[in-house]
Amino acid sequence: MNEQDQTAAEQAGITQAEAAETIQEATIENSTAAAAPAQKEHPHHGHRVVFETQTFFTIIIFSIFVTTFIVQAFQIPSSSMENTLLIGDFLLVDKMHFAGGGKPGLLPYEPIRRGDIIVFYYPVDPSQFLVKRVIGMPGDHIRLHDKVVYVNDKPLDESYVIHKQLTFFDRYRDNFPSPYAFSPEMDRRWRYQLQRHIKDGELVVPPDNYFAMGDNRDLSLDSRYWGFVPRANIVGRPLVIYLSVRSNEQESSQDDSNDKLNPLRQIMAHLLQMARWGRMFHVVR
């Protein structure tokens, strides 16, 4: 091979190499261009996921805030506040009303008054909530005579009170406080503390404490049996009954061995039948 033929071959080789490289680059570019539209099919997908996540956590945080500081739902499990509150009433409790302790501020806090219904941590067991009516304020002198409540030597006008045991007289419950009467339902600590708060036959409510009783006066285990309600224990006041359902103990006990599952429509019809429609959205007073 002469020198000219060798030079031509070398040039041809370079040209082929360059052509191969050009083809490879074109293939890569075409692949990238083909893949680009697939990435742009949902340009806002990532933003939507972030938005939905933020919305979910916002709802959770808001719900926690509301139930912690504003309102909380409770169910009435006993008859101690009949006929004001019935077994099966579901309440929304206003936690803002008494939150300021009666001190003036930006929010409409109000002081606790005699006659208010309050929800509070049970002083004997703070893991439980109780609902009662305020009868005695700090500094009040309280006594009961023949089931009538006297506060500072004046009988209370209690239109909300019911008595279900008119023929049965309990000396401790109905003539309170009595230095010689005793009840087996008394809290042990209150049994020893009670005498320290009696003056001239009357119970004196200490500062920052309240004396609370149930409206169903004969069947209420209240301050007569476990003592005062500290101001710090008070959570709020019942605001409204948002649901009320009659108890169904008789029907549920008829056939305990039957494990047949009822259709959802039958369950819903049963609940609708048991609902107390007249008490729904009833403001508690």
Helix/strand/coil (H/E/C) assignment for every residue in 123-163: CCCCCCEEEEEEEECCCCEEEEECCEEEECCEECCCCCCEC
| Strands annotated E in the chain | 71-75, 89-94, 117-121, 129-136, 141-145, 148-151, 154-155, 198-199, 202-204, 209-213, 229-230, 234-244, 282-283
Region 116-130 average pLDDT: 95
- Find the CATH number of the domain harbouring 131: 2.10.109.10
Domain enclosing residue 102, as ranges: 71-246
Residue 210 domain flag: yes
* Best mean pLDDT range from 20-24, 86-90, 245-249: 86-90
Which letter, b or e, does each residue of 238-257 get, where b requires 16 or more Cβ atoms within 10 Å of its Cβ? bbebebbbeeeeeeeeeeee
Q: Is the pLDDT of residue 254 over 70?
A: no
Longest dimension (CA), the chain: 139
Q: Establish if 227 belongs to a structural domain.
A: yes
Rounded distance between C-alpha atoms, residue 225 and residue 133, angstroms: 15
Residue 282 in domain: no
Residues 171-198: pLDDT tens digits?
A: 999 999 987 888 999 999 999 999 999 9
Range 214-220 average pLDDT? 96
- The whole-number pLDDT of residue 250 equals 39
93 in a structural domain: yes
> Quick check: helix, strand or coil at residue 209?
strand
Number of domains in the chain: 1
Does the residue 26 lie in any domain?
no
Structure tokens given for 236: 């709020």
Q: What percent of the chain has pLDDT above 70?
A: 63
Identify the pLDDT of residue 264.
56
Place of tokens 């933003």: 47
Residues that are catalytic: 80, 132
The answer to whether residues 235 and 68 touch, using CB atoms and an 8 Å cutoff, is no
259 falls within a domain? no
- Residue 103's Cβ-side half-sphere holds a number of Cα atoms within 13 Å equal to 4
Residue 273 has pLDDT above 80, yes or no: no
Give a yes or no: residue 25 inside a domain. no
Are the C-beta atoms of residues 279 and 253 closer than 8 Å to each other?
A: no
Closest of 77, 84, 82, 78 to residue 216, by C-alpha: 82
- The percentage of the chain sitting over the pLDDT mark of 90, rounded to a whole number, equals 49
Q: What is the pLDDT of residue 114?
A: 96
- φ and ψ at residue 244, rounded to 5 degrees: -145, 125
Q: Is the pLDDT of residue 169 over 80?
A: yes
pLDDT grade for 16, boundaries at 50, 70 and 90: low
Average pLDDT, the chain: 78
Asked whether residue 53 is domain-assigned, the answer is no
Residue labelled with tokens 């009538």:
148
**What's the pLDDT at 257?**
36
Residue 180: predicted pLDDT: 84
| pLDDT tens sequence across 25-84 | 545 455 444 444 444 555 566 666 665 555 554 555 544 444 444 678 888 999 999 999
With a cut of 70, say whether residue 107 has pLDDT above it. Answer: no
